[in-house]
């Protein structure tokens, strides 16, 4: 039993040596070798850096010495050389300052030009936005005209009474309630007021006067003489309204002169 125990202890010791102690020693040896190698490389780099600094300092001292010796030689030979060098340095310095000022003026001018272009671009954008708003917004009178156009197109011949496009007219009579509401909310306007509205917003199509074709034909001659050029904010609509007014008035006048109802 003692021999077996002794053998077991020897195996345990050998196993510890093989798997614990030897690997740990090898790891320490590798670490020590890496540290030593790093120290050697660092020392080598330090030596190279020191040598480089020494060479730079030596070359600088040599250059300074040569420059001082040259100055002393030039001063000994005469002061003309020193004066000439001073004048050359002064001339070069003045040229350099002038070039710097020119560059600064050029950059300042370019900056001002860019600011001016940017300001012009913003002004153009503002003008375009204002024109778009003026062109796109409808006044209350224009909205009323559009409603009258829609009612006229739904209830009458769309070729004669409305400017909006459509497929077919229903040609049904206007409801009495619509006519009563329209007449109730409508303010009485004189013929001069109608002319003023036509001057500003184009030909006025009023659903309450749609059944009376003599309303326009009776005053066609006077309105043609008194009607000036349109001053609408939307020239295209004014031109369309004026053209529609001429064709419409002509159609009314022909139908009235021939005694033909307007829905025919």
Residues 40 and 122 placed together within one structural domain of the fold: no
Residue 20 domain-assigned (yes or no) = yes
Residues 196 and 129 placed together within one structural domain of the fold: no
194 pLDDT exceeds 60? yes
pLDDT mean over 145-156: 67
Number of domains in the chain: 3
Residue owning tokens 């009579």? 173
Whole-number pLDDT of residue 177: 67
pLDDT mean over 211-215: 47
> Which structural domain range is residue 67 located in?
1-77
Whole-number pLDDT of residue 64: 85
Residue 18 domain-assigned (yes or no) = yes
Whole-number pLDDT of residue 256: 42
Residue 263 domain-assigned (yes or no) = no
Residues 129 and 182 placed together within one structural domain of the fold: no
> pLDDT grade, residue 95 (50/70/90)?
confident
Whole-number pLDDT of residue 233: 38
> pLDDT grade, residue 142 (50/70/90)?
low
Residue 264 domain-assigned (yes or no) = no
228, 231, 234, 236 alpha-carbon torsion, rounded to 10°? 30
For the chain, give the longest Cα–Cα distance.
149
Nearest to 178 by CA among 145, 207, 142, 215: 207
Instruction: Transcribe 93-160 into DSSP letters.
Output: HHHHHHHHHHHHHHHHHHHHHHHHHHHHHHHHHHHHHHHHHHHH---HHHHHHHHHHHHHHHHS-HHH
Say if residues 215 and 209 touch (Cβ distance below 8 Å): yes
Residues 71 and 161 placed together within one structural domain of the fold: no
Residue 123 domain-assigned (yes or no) = yes
Domain boundary (60, 77, 94) is at: 77
Domain boundary (58, 77, 96) is at: 77
196 pLDDT exceeds 60? yes
Whole-number pLDDT of residue 82: 56
Whole-number pLDDT of residue 240: 42
Query: Hey, which of 14-18, 121-125, 143-147, 226-230 has the most confident mean pLDDT?
Result: 121-125
215 pLDDT exceeds 50? no
Residues 95 and 169 placed together within one structural domain of the fold: no
Residues 151 and 232 placed together within one structural domain of the fold: yes
Residues 233 and 124 placed together within one structural domain of the fold: no
Cα–Cα distance, 151 to 149 (Å, whole number): 6
pLDDT single digits (tens) 64-86: 888 888 877 777 776 655 566 77
Residues 156 and 112 placed together within one structural domain of the fold: no
> pLDDT grade, residue 263 (50/70/90)?
very low
pLDDT single digits (tens) 7-32: 777 887 888 888 888 888 888 888 88
Sign of CA dihedral 201, 205, 206, 209: positive
pLDDT single digits (tens) 240-258: 444 444 444 444 444 444 4
Residue 249 domain-assigned (yes or no) = yes
With pLDDT > 70 as the criterion, what percentage of the chain qualifies? 47
* Residue 80 token pair: 């003309």
């Amino acid at each position: 039993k003692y021999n077996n125990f002794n053998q077991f202890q020897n195996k345990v010791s050998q196993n510890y040596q093989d798997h614990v102690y030897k690997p740990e020693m090898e790891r320490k040896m590798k670490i020590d070798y890496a540290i030593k190698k790093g120290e050697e490389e660092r020392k080598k780099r330090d030596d190279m850096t020191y040598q480089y600094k020494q060479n730079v300092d030596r070359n600088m001292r040599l250059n300074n010495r040569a420059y001082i010796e040259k100055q002393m030689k030039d001063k000994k030979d005469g002061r003309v050389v020193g004066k000439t060098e001073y004048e050359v340095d002064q001339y070069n310095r003045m040229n350099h300052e002038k070039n710097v000022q020119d560059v600064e003026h050029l950059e300042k001018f370019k900056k001002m030009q860019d600011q001016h272009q940017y300001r012009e671009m913003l002004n153009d954008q503002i003008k375009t936005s204002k024109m778009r708003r003026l062109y796109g917004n409808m006044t209350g009178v224009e909205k009323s005209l559009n409603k009258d156009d829609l009612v006229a197109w739904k209830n009458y011949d769309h070729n004669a009474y409305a400017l909006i496009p459509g497929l077919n007219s229903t040609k049904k009579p206007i409801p009495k309630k619509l006519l009563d509401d329209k007449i109730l909310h409508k303010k009485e306007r004189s013929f001069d007021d109608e002319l003023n509205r036509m001057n500003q917003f184009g030909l006025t199509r009023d659903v309450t006067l749609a059944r009376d074709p003599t309303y326009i034909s009776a005053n066609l001659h006077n309105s043609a003489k008194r009607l000036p050029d349109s001053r609408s904010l939307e020239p295209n609509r004014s031109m369309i309204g004026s053209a529609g007014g001429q064709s419409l008035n002509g159609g009314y006048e022909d139908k009235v002169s021939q005694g033909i109802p307007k829905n025919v």
